Amino acid sequence: MMDAARLFRSLSHRKKTKSNPMNNFLSSRAQNLRQGEIRSLFNRSKSYKNVISLGIGEPDFVTPSTIINAAYQGLLNGNTHYTANEGQPSTRIAISTYLEKKGLFYDPVDEIIVTMGGMGALSTALMTILDPGDEVLIQDPQWLNYRSQVQFFRGIPVPVPVYEQDSFSLKADAIEKRITKKTKVLMINSPNNPTGAVIHPEDLTGIADLSIKHDLLVISDEVYSELVYDNSKHISIASLPGMKERTIMVNSLSKSFAMTGWRIGFAAGPTEIINKMTVLQENLVACAPTVSQEGLIYAVAHPEEIELMRKEYEARRDMMTELINHIPGLSCVIPRGAFYIFVNISGLHINSRDFSEKLLRDFQVVVIPGSAFGEKGEGFVRLSYATNQQLLKEAAERIHKFCNQLLEEKIL
Ligand code: PMP
């Protein structure tokens, strides 16, 4: 029998050696699909020993056992069937109650759909909305799957720069400059991947006003909404006046509840859009996994259970930003949410891809080049602190040595 390691080796070998005649059958859209840089670096890191990965953005915690138990009980109770395409009523009621506690009012009957993770919500939303040639405003740098999803669904991604001097908060005037007759959608993501930024409340109001003025639909990706620090609370753009009717709010339990493998999330928005997303979901995947819907019901009713994880992320952020800001050639602004630090490497005069490749090769630490997230990400690397404090310290030491080495090479 083939074990997992052998399978992995044989697949990567096959990819390199064979030019497959079956490529002729691929659609032009499929041919243009590329594996994201995060995955490929992660795969490459497997050929090194003693690697510390600050690369992949997923919690290092296992899902709280209470959530696992609730899902298990659901299965034992016979809940092993398909559910309604939009999710079982009890799941939608649980989501509606969870949102209500945050001051967001959505009718579980026809304003909420349960999806396969945040990605399921994002892709179904984009497929439902986009016609070929529609322009979608996306901040730069941004999580790379936005761009490829929009392109795959024949939309045109239009980058809107964010800047370190603004703590990477998205600004209404930068958006407005890029609006054309073809602009249909604005995608926002706060707390943000890759920068960890939380959009400043004044900027959020400015963005809301602008969306109303230019009649834009906003897709607000709030998958990190539970992970905000410094005693602040997440604000959804959907809660601002006039915004609920033009916002598709996307959320997921992946990050907040450490449930990436459960593939469970949801979208809340205007009835007409949610209804069409439901029909589309019927055609694509039928429904989100029933067992995960059972886990969700328990999880969203007990957000206090993730407070310890949130506090631990905050402690790691404080430790890591302090360490980074003491490494020669590196600096970072303090991110207010998620579990990423966008580290400025411009003092080292090396591009972000070379930095990441050499760091992996020489010191076995994985970070993601900022350029993978867009043109404006160059000069930065993304580092995830979803790893325990001991490993983070060890990684910081290795990065310190690496930067010293780079600086010495420059001087000699
Ligand atoms: N949005 C952002 C900004 C993300 O970073 C991710 C995951 N990395 C997702 C959506 C997708 O999350 P899920 O696992 O819920 O599909």
Q: How many residues does the chain have?
A: 412
Architecture of domain 65-301: 3-Layer(aba) Sandwich (3.40)
Token pair of 93 as six digits = 């009621």
Task: Work out the end-to-end distance of the chain between its first and last CA atoms, rounded to an integer number of angstroms.
Answer: 53
pLDDT for res 375: 97
**Rounded to whole angstroms, how far apart are CA atoms 403 and 79?**
54
**Rounded to whole angstroms, how far apart are CA atoms 126 and 387?**
32
pLDDT for res 12: 53
Report the candidate in 269, 277, 278, 233 with the shortest Cα–Cα distance to residue 250: 269
pLDDT for res 15: 52
**Rounded to whole angstroms, how far apart are CA atoms 89 and 71?**
16
Using CA positions, which residue lies closest to atom 3 of ligand 1? 193
Q: Which atom of ligand 1 is nearest to the CA of 116?
A: 16
pLDDT for res 17: 47
pLDDT for res 169: 98
- Cβ(348)–Cβ(379) below 8 Å: no
Q: Which amino acid is at 65?
A: S
For ligand 1, the distance from its centroid to the CA atom of residue 1, given in whole angstroms, is 34
pLDDT for res 230: 97
CA 392 vs CA 167, 197, 283, 304, 337: distances in Å: 23, 20, 44, 26, 18
Assigned superfamily of 35-57+306-411: Aspartate Aminotransferase, domain 1 (3.90.1150.10)
Q: Which atom of ligand 1 is nearest to the CA of 122?
A: 10
For ligand 1, the distance from its centroid to the CA atom of residue 308, given in whole angstroms, is 21
In the chain, CATH 3.40.640.10 sits at: 65-301
pLDDT along the chain (412 residues), means of 10: 56 54 82 78 84 92 97 97 98 98 97 98 98 98 95 97 98 98 98 98 98 98 98 97 98 97 98 98 98 98 94 98 97 98 96 96 96 97 97 98 93 62
Q: Are strands 340-344 and 380-384 parallel, antiparallel or unpaired?
A: antiparallel
With b for 16 or more beta-carbon neighbours within 10 A and e for fewer, the 62-91 pattern comes to ebbeebeebbeebeeeebeeebbbbbbebb
Token pair of 325 as six digits = 């800001």
pLDDT for res 47: 87
What is the pTM (predicted TM-score) of this model? 0.94
Calculate helix-pair angle for 290-301, 89-100, nearest 10 degrees: 30
Q: Residue 91 phi/psi, 5° resolution?
A: -70, -45
Q: Which three-class secondary structure state does DSSP give residue 86?
A: coil
Ligand 1 pocket (Cβ < 6 Å) reads 57, 117-119, 143, 189, 193, 221, 223, 252, 254, 260, 265
CA 142 vs CA 92, 170, 223: distances in Å: 29, 11, 14
In the chain, CATH 3.90.1150.10 sits at: 35-57+306-411
